[in-house]
Structure 1
Amino acid sequence: MGHTLRNLLLRGSRKDITLPGESRYDVAVVGAGPIGAATARHLTDRGARVVVIGPAEPDRFDDHQGVWAGYYDQGRLAHVLEVPLVTSMLATRSLRRFAELRERSGVTFTTPTHSLSVLPDVSSSETGSEWFDRERLIRNAEDLGVAVSPLSAEDLRRDYPRLRFAPGHVGVVQRDAFILNPRELVRAELAAATAAGATLVRDEVVSLGRTEDDDDEAVQLVGKSTATWRADKIVLATGAGTNATGLLPRRLQMQTYGATVVLVEVDDPATVDMPAMMYLKFMDGQLRFGGIVMSPLRYPDGRWYIKVSGNSLLDNPLESADEIAAWVRTGGRGADIDDTYELLAELMPDQTLGSAFTRPCTVCDTPTGLPYLDRVDDRTTVVVEGERGAMAADELGRLTAEYTLTGQWKDGIPHDVFRARWADDS
C-alpha cells in the first residue's frame, strides 16, 4: 500500500485539484488542517465519498486576510503529560496509529524525544493550579499504561546537567514521547485520504445552504472562488477560526487567541543538550513563564531553531476574521523575543544563541478545556480541537467520521464530554 501511494504522489495524483463541477458527495469536510484531514481519511476508509475543502498554507503573513490555521509549524509535543486524562487518552489512541499512517503515506511526521514537564514543587502547599499537580500527571500516565518518571530537583540537575531550572522546581519525564510535525501530519493524512478516493480542494468555503431543488436535500457549499459543491453531510473542522468563519448559525462558547511563536536560531543542534519540555516557572507567587521550550527543529528555510511559545498565549483575544487577520499581519508579539532570550539565557547559560524572530499563531480555548464534537443540525457536525489539537487529531478525526456517518455515539468516552456549548445557551 505504501509503495503504491508513493508512486501516485510522484505522478501528482489528486492531491491538490479543484473539481467544482463534480457530483454530489456523501460528506464535505470544511477545513483541511489536522482534524479535517484526519476526518477525511477516516471517512474514506469507511467507504464514504468525500471532498475536503481548505486553503493551502499562505506564502507570507504580512498581507494576510481572513482566518489563519494554527498548524503552520514544525513541532508540537505528542505525549501523555496532560492534566485532562481525556486529552492524554485521545493522544495515545492517535499515537498508536501513527506507524500505519506513516506506512500508508510515506510521510515521516514524528521524531522520538524525551518529554519533560518542569513545575513548581507544591507538595507541601495547597497553592497552585491543577497544572502544578505532578501526582495527577503521573496517575494519568499510569491509567494509560505509559511509563513516566518523577524527577526531584536533584534528579533534574543530574539528568540535565547543562540546564538550569528555577529553584524549587521538580519534573516528570516521559522518555518515549515524540515531537510531532503538524505540517507533515496534515500532509500524511491528506495523502492517505486522497489515495483512498477523497477529493482535496484548495479553496475557502464562505457559505452553506440547502439546494434550491426540492427533490435534492443536499447542502450546497460555496467557495471563495465561487465554485460550489453538494453533500449530504457537512463536517466543520475550521479550528480556532470556527466562530469567525460565519458558517455556524450561532456562536460557540470558545475564545480564540493570537499566540506568538519565537524561533531562536542555533548553528549546530548537536550542541543543544535538552529535551522537549513544558516549563512552568513559578517564582514569588507568580507564573513567570508557562509554555513550551522545544529542542532544536529544522524549519523549511533549512535552519535550526529552538521554539519557545506560551508567555503571551492568552493575552490577545480575537473575535472576528478581521481581528484574526490583523493579528496575523503583526507577525506576533515582538516583546516575546526579549522574554525568550532572558528565559533561554537562564535555562542554558552556556549556549550560544543566534538571531530570533516571531511567527503568528492562533489557538482556542473552550470552557471545558476539552474538544467539542457535536451536532449543529441534522446534517452538520462541528469539531473544535481546543489547545491540544495536533497530537489528538487523528483520534478526533476517527470519532468525527464515525459520528457523522452513523449519527450515533459509540465510543467508551461519554459523548457529554465533547458536547458543544453555545453562546446563547441559558
Structure 2
Amino acid sequence: MQDEGRFDVIVVGAGPIGAATARHLSERGASVLVVGPDEPSGFADHDGVWAGYYDQGRLAHVLEVPLMTSMLAMRSIRRFPDLQERTGVEFAIPRQSLTVMPDDSEGGGLADWFNRALLAGNAADLNVAVEQFSAEELRREYPDLGFAPGHVGIVQRDAFIVNPRGLVQAELAAAVAQGAVLVRDVVDSVERSPQGVRVASRGGETWRAGKVVVATGAATNVGGLLSRPLDMRTYGATVVLVEVPDPSEFDIPAMMYMKASGEEVTFGGIVMSPLQYPDGRWYLKCSGRSLLDNPLDSAEAIARWVRTGGRQEDIRESLDLLAELLPGKTLGPAHTRPCMVCETPTALPYIDWADEHTIVAVEGERGAMAADEIGRLAAGLVIDGVWTDGIPHAAFQARWAETEVSPPLHSVATA
C-alpha cells in the first residue's frame, strides 16, 4: 500500500458539492485532496452507487421553497459567470424558468413547491423579478403550449439551465488551478485519531489530513465513512429522455409542472427544454411523480436500482403529458435513465461537524444549482472552525438517525 502524504483537508466525493468544497478550500489556501470516481460508462451491469449529477440539465432559479433554498441558489448563480470565465467551461445556459400549477388563487395549493404565493414571496424577498399569469394570460404568453385548463403560472425570465457535468468540470478545474490534487478512485475507509484522519482508497493508496469533508450525496449513509447515520432518506429516481429530431422546433421554457384534475395529481415534475446529450442527440427531459417512490437503504439496493435503468412506466406518463403540452410536435423514441436523490427532514442541506475531524456536506434534489454556495459554506466551516456566515448555522445542522452505521458489504463509489 502506497502512502501519498498529508494534506490539510481531504474531500471525499467529486460531485457538485465535493468539487465546489475543494475549490473554495483551495482558494482559501488549504492543501486539498479530492477523491471520487469518474462517471461509470453505463448502468446495465453497474455495481455500486450512482450519482445524481450524471445529466445535462438542471434548473437554476429562485422559484423554490423554502426561502433558504432560493437564497443558496441565488448566491451560487451570481458566481457562475466568474467561474465560467476563469475555467473556460460553459455550464450555464440562460433560460426562462416557468412553474405551472392548478389555480391556487383561493389559497393553499397541492404542494409547497407548487404554491404560487410562496414562490412569488420568496422571489420578492430576494429582489428577483418574476411574473405571474392567470390561466388566460398563461395561454396568451405561451400560445404553442397546451396547458391543462384552470392552470396558472409564474416565470423567472433570467434563470438558467445548468449542466451538472459541466459544473463539476469547472469546479474541479478551478480547484486544481489553485493547487488541489484530484484522484479518481473510490474511498473505502476513513480512520480517525487525535492527530486527524487516514483515508484509504480501493486502489490501495492512503492519505492523511487534519480534516475530512464527506460529500457523498445519496450514498452517504451506505458508504460506512461516518460513525453514525444521518437522518436522511435516499431514493432511486427516474429520468425520461425523449428524443427530438429538430431542437429548433421546441422554443420552450424550462418548466416545473404540476398537472392536476381536482385533487388528483396526474403529473408533477420537470419538463426541460431540449438539450444535447453526450451521444450527440437532443432530448426533452422529464422527471415526474415517481421521484420518491423507490426508497433505497443499502449499497446493494442502490446497485440493483441502477441496473433497472429506471421505472419504465414513467415513459408512458411522460409521453402522454408531452402529447398534450406540445401539440403537433414531432417526438422521437424515449428511454429512461436512473438517477439518485436524497431528502432531509429539514428540506435543507446538512453542512455540519460529524466529529472533531469530519464535516458532512450533503444536499438532495437541488444540489447542482446550490452546490457552489454549499461548498463555500462547508469550506468556511473547515477553515474557520466555527460558523461565520450570516445565515444561522442551525438551518444546516445535521440530524442523526438513532442506529449505528453498519459496515458496508462492499466498497461503495463516491460521487
Give yes or no for TM over 0.5: yes
Cα 1:50–1:126 change in 2 (3 A) is: closer
- Given candidates 46, 56, 62, the residue that maps to 1:64 is 46
Classify 1:53/1:20 alpha carbon distance in 2 versus 1 (closer, same or farther; 3 Å): farther
User: Structure 1: any 5+ residue segments left out of the alignment?
Assistant: 1-18
3-state secondary structure, aligned to 1:287: strand
Q: Deviations over 1:341-388 (max 9, x none)?
A: 111001112111000110000000110111111111001000111221
Residue of structure 1 equivalent to 2:267: 289
Identity %: 65
Q: 1:415 aligns with which of 387, 393, 414?
A: 393
- Between stretches 193-202 and 282-291, larger displacement belongs to 282-291
Q: Which residue of 2 aligns with 1:352?
A: 330
Q: CA deviation at 1:20?
A: 5.3
1:284 shift after superposition: 2.5
2:17–2:371 CA contact under 8 A, matched in 1: yes
* Conservation of the 8 A alpha-carbon contact between 1:295 and 1:307: yes
CA-to-aligned-CA distance 1:13-62 (integer Å, 9 cap, x gap): xxxxxx95432000000000000000000000000000000000011111
Distance 2:2 2:122 in 1: 47
2:226 aligned residue? 248
Shift of 1:128: 2.7
Q: TM-score, normalised by structure 1?
A: 0.93
In 2, the alpha carbon distance for the partners of 1:27 and 1:266 equals: 45
Question: 2:296 aligns to what?
Answer: 318
Residue 109 (structure 1) shift: 0.2
Corresponding residue for 2:279? Answer: 301
Distance (whole Å) between structure 2 residues aligned to residue 255 and residue 367 of structure 1: 9
Match of 1:16 in 2: none
Match of 2:15 in 1: 33
Aligned to 1:6: none
CA distance in 1, matches of 2:2, 2:268: 45
Task: Give the whole-Å Cα distance in 2 for the aligned partners of 1:138 and 1:407.
Answer: 36
Counterpart in the other structure of 1:149: 131
CA distance in 1, matches of 2:77, 2:262: 38
Say if 1:122 and 1:132, in contact at 8 Å, map to a contact too.
no
In 2, the alpha carbon distance for the partners of 1:23 and 1:302 equals 41
Ranges in structure 2 where 5+ consecutive residues have no aligned partner = 404-415
Moved more, 233-242 or 21-30: 21-30
Question: Could you say which residue in structure 2 is the equivalent of 1:51?
Answer: 33
Q: Kindly provide the CA deviation profile for residues 179-229 of structure 1, in whole angstroms up to 9, marking residues without a partner as x.
A: 000000000000010111000000111111136xxxx81310111112111
2:72 alignment partner in structure 1: 90
Distance 2:383 2:166 in 1: 27
Structure 1 equivalent of residue 413 of structure 2: none
Please list every run of at least 4 consecutive aligned residues from structure 1 whose deviation after the TM superposition is greater than 3 angstroms.
none
Distance 1:380 1:203, change over 3 A: same
CA distance in 2, matches of 1:381, 1:74: 29
**Match runs of 1:359-374 below 5 Å:** 359-374=337-352
Q: How many residues align?
A: 403
SS in 2 for 1:43: helix
- Could you tell me the TM-score, scaled by structure 2's length? 0.95
Q: How does 1:54-203 map to 2 (within 5 A)?
A: 54-126=36-108, 128-203=110-185
The answer to whether the 8 A contact 2:310-2:338 is kept is yes
User: How big is the shift at 1:126?
Assistant: 4.2
What one-letter code is carried by the residue in structure 1 that aligns with 2:374? L
| Structure 1: distance between partners of 2:60 and 2:118 | 18
* Residues 67, 244 of structure 1: 8 Å contact kept: no
Distance in 2, Cα, partners of 1:133 & 1:298:
31
Q: Could you tell me which of 219, 237, 245 is aligned with 1:259? A: 237
Does the CA-based 8 Å contact 2:288-2:314 persist in structure 1? no
Name the CA distance, whole Å, in 1 between partners of 2:386 and 2:213.
15
- Name the SS of the counterpart of 1:24 in structure 2: strand
Q: Deviations over 1:308-341 (max 9, x none)?
A: 0122101100000110011001110111111111
